[in-house]
Amino acid sequence: MAPDSSAPDPALPPWEQMLRALLGDQADEAIAEMRARGIDPEALGAAGSLPTDPAAMQQVLAQVQQLFASGDDQPVNWQMAHDLARQQAAQGGDPSLTPAQSRQVLDALSVAELWLDAATELPPSAAPARAWSRAEWVEATLPTWRTLTEPVASSLSSALVDALGGRIGDDNALGLPPGGLPGGLEPGQLLRRLGSAVFGLQVGQAAGTLSRDVFGTTDIGLPLLDVPAPALVAANLDAFAEGLDAPAEEVRLFLALREAAATRLFTHVPWLRSHLLAAVEAYARGIEIDVDQLEEAVGSIDPTDAQELQRALSGGVFSPQTTPEQQSALARLETALALVEGWVDEVSATAALPHLPHAVALREMIRRRRAAGGPAEQTFANLVGLELRPRRLRDAAALWARIASDGGVAARDAVWDHPDLMPTAEDLDDPAGYAARRAQAAGESADLDRALAEILGEDPPTAP
């Protein structure tokens, strides 16, 4: 079979393979022009951002060529995100689960459901429990990451075109002839596809990294499945249990309690998932991009260098600037996330205490882990301007414990009956005053109902 003459010579340095994949027949002229202008093209690979392994380099080149051949200008290159996430998940090995591993996870979730029956009024999910590899976690959760990241990616893509589009078309930094951009694209199309690739790399890197760190589908406080179901990543449970004083089986049971409790909540509070995801989307959609600041920040960036754009994104150069309205929306969202995780924390601890000797220590360890976050969560924070971790988990857990102490488990769980009943930031500040404020609000609502009944000539409602 004759060699593919269009493919860059694998003996060339990675930076030159990349440029030739991007520029095709015009690569020689562009490289000569860059050197004539004092630009060293070898700097593209100097930071070690391009792979040196020939097989890995060919994968990158194939992605680049596919990117510019595609007519799709979506905000995030999801094929690239998917492929990179799978690669990251497989680092260090990600074999399929053995029957014994699956049985350990499923048994733990089964026992957790039994213990939770004594700690909450919410029944188990009807969906079957699952034991996953890291790759299976990526496949199942990536659609939700799309919902979370695309609104901001779209806004930033438009801002990127506004800030840099003129520099390619007017300044012609590479000295290319008219119509000589990669793939014959217009400057705006080129930047959108570069931005799409950059976001794809960022999301894929973060999702893949998270797949090696999460325990299940609810670790970040948001439900990552369209249909809630308890699921645990067996390898991550085993890795977390290594080196702890508690037996691995006890650790597995404690984490199963948290996953099963959160799944019950998202299953039987039908408005909660859409409420949280809509809040994230509204926050992201309302972010305003300061184009002037963006132009200043990227003044020294080569607009055709996807690797340089990726490093800029990683450093927060393109981080969106939030408005006062967005700060208010963020505060409401953080309160909701804290209430979800506070409920899970309190309910799972209540269920664990009679059975697990290390329940208190494990609860504290998980609290600190969630408060600290990790590099993958920080990547998502850079992308969407939002840290998906509860800042007030302890306050929320204390509030739920107080509600249960005052009115019982049924009263605590009944708060989830409607979003209007949800506690506020004021309630997190003063859990002891929650009952009095709720009674006052109920009295004011009853007064309003009576007034409306008088106006409409109806019988006033009777007290419950």
Nearest to 302 by CA among 192, 188, 175, 174: 174
Q: Tell me if 198 sits within 8 A of 313, measured CB to CB.
A: yes
- Nearest C-alpha neighbor of 215 from the set 233, 190, 199: 233
Q: Which long-range contacts (CB under 8 A, 24 or more apart) does 109-113 make?
A: 109/230, 109/232, 109/256, 109/259, 109/260, 111/253, 111/256, 112/230, 112/253, 112/256, 112/257, 112/259, 112/260, 112/261, 112/351, 113/260
Residues 200 and 82: their CA atoms lie apart, in Å, by 8
Task: Tell me how many degrees the CA angle 198-199-205 measures, rounded to the nearest 5.
Answer: 95
Tokens 């019988």 locate to 459
pLDDT, residue 221, reads 82
Query: Other C-beta atoms within 10 Å of 22: how many?
Result: 25
**CA atoms of 139 and 72, how far apart (whole Å):** 22
In the predicted model, residues of the chain with pLDDT beneath 70 are: 1-11, 13-27, 29-73, 156, 159-191, 285-322, 374-389, 441-454, 459-464
Nearest alpha-carbon partner for 220 in 212, 231, 210:
210
What burial letters (b/e) apply to 116-128, b meaning 16+ CB within 10 Å?
beebbebebbeee
* Per-residue pLDDT at 432: 86
- Phi and psi at 77, nearest 5°, equal -80, 95
pLDDT at position 436 is: 85
Of 96, 100, 87, 83, nearest to 133 (Cα)?
96
The whole-number pLDDT of residue 202 equals 78
CA 421 to CA 431: how far, in whole Å?
Answer: 15
One-letter identity of residue 340: V
With a CB cutoff of 8 Å and minimum separation 6, the contacts of 14 are 44, 45, 50, 51, 52, 57
Looking at residue 177, its pLDDT comes to 45
CB 104 within 8 A of CB 252: yes
Q: Are 131 and 102 in contact (CB under 8 A)?
A: yes
Backbone angles phi, psi at 71, to 5 degrees: -95, 10
